[in-house]
Amino acid sequence: MVKPHGSETLNPLYVQDEQKRAALLKEAEGLPSIVVCSAAAANAVMLGSGYFNPLTGYMNVADSVSVAEKMRTANGLFWPVPIVNMVEDASSIAGAKRIALRDPNVEGNPILAIQDLEAIEQFSDEQMKMMTDKIFRTDDPKHPGVAAFNSVGKTVISGPIQVLSFSYFEKEFPETFRTAYQIRAEMEKLGWKKVVAFQTRNPMHRAHEELCRMAYEAVNADGILIHMLLGKLKKGDIPADVRDASIRKMVELYFPPNTVLITGYGFDMLYAGPREAVLHAIFRQNTGCSHLIVGRDHAGVGDYYGPFDAQTIFREEVPAGALEIEIFEADHTAWSKKLNKVVMMRDVPDHTKEDFIMLSGTKVREMLSKGEALPPEFSRPEVAQILMKYYQSQAE
């Protein structure tokens, strides 16, 4: 199993000792507090889970700017996107040394973490523009990541944190939400050394299923980690519980026992394409995975990124030796009518578009909403059934 990013052992920031956590929660009730934005809350969950190892808390202005510009913190740690706690107004915590962070995504805004306050600073308009351009490769306000990043304020609260809650993820996804340290422990128990990670924010159709199988066989892996995003998505994306049910059904019926771990992580999607792909690689390394599948338009949205920009960044911008995890570069996969199986398009140069069974997302949604079966070459019938039920409930 590969070692974590930036340290010999994983250092999750969640306070696991129950007595200590109870004492900190009691202390937090008496501290000046602030309700953080959803992105900062998700960052706390990822820090608590060990996914953002070796970070000890939220970055300051100098680290954030350095990470955006050079993919390194001021002291040289390789990191692709700023991990920040940004707010509109920090006047309620002015002069405090220690503060409580409250959860914006749970009713009553319960305590999420305690932060030791190192600095309260402001990003300038120029810095915000530079960071937006570098992280997202666009400043288009229609880009969901750009819109989210620029809507939460420019005041940045930096300093180490102790995480006291995993927000709504544990309660809403008890079977699926797992921390990086829980995944490491599970893989150790299974005796897995070489593991392929598959990132998804969508249900998995035949092409995704076969892609996992192809990568698993190509690198001679011991197992596959299907790792789904459970946090906030853009409007129109399929809810996590529906994705979860459809993926579980596919694995149950079509993969051999004990070859796949189905897990999820608590993070809000950035839609940052190449930079987010690098972040995905870091936190999969922290779970112990040896390989990450990076496919066409990985972590992208709309037409903001080239189809393989998320692969190119690893070759052209990630310094040699910065990561231990390896990238399995995947092409678009689809069912070949000629060969009667799912193939990677780059492997069949003799095929034309007509030789593949391909459906747009719009077409899939339309068919499922009408109760029409998807072609079995495109989607497993049991998976399509779960999705059909969801889309028909939306149409009512």
Question: For this structure, is 201 an active site residue?
Answer: yes
* DSSP per-residue letters across 83-138: ---EES--GGGTT-SEEEEE-TTSTT--EEEEEE--EEEE--HHHHHHHHHHHHS-
Peptide bond into 375 cis (omega under 30): no
Contact yes or no for 188/74 (Cβ under 8 A) = no
**CA angle 385-391-392, nearest 5°?**
85
| 360/376 Cα distance (integer angstroms) | 15
Question: For this structure, is 178 an active site residue?
Answer: no
Largest CA distance in the chain: 69
| 387/390 Cα distance (integer angstroms) | 5
Give the SS3 label for residue 61.
Answer: helix
Q: Which of 202, 213, 248, 365 is catalytic?
A: 202
How many angstroms separate the first and last alpha carbons of the chain? 48
H/E stretch holding 172 reads helix 169-172
Contact yes or no for 86/152 (Cβ under 8 A) = yes
Structure tokens at 259: 């070859």
Sign of CA dihedral 187, 5, 49, 132: negative
Beta strands (DSSP E) in 318-369 are 326-329, 333-336, 341-344, 356-357
| 204/253 Cα distance (integer angstroms) | 13
The torsion of the CA quartet 299, 270, 309, 213, rounded to 10 degrees, works out to: -20
Q: Which of 21, 72, 98, 201 is catalytic?
A: 201
Could you give the residue numbers annotated as active site?
201-202
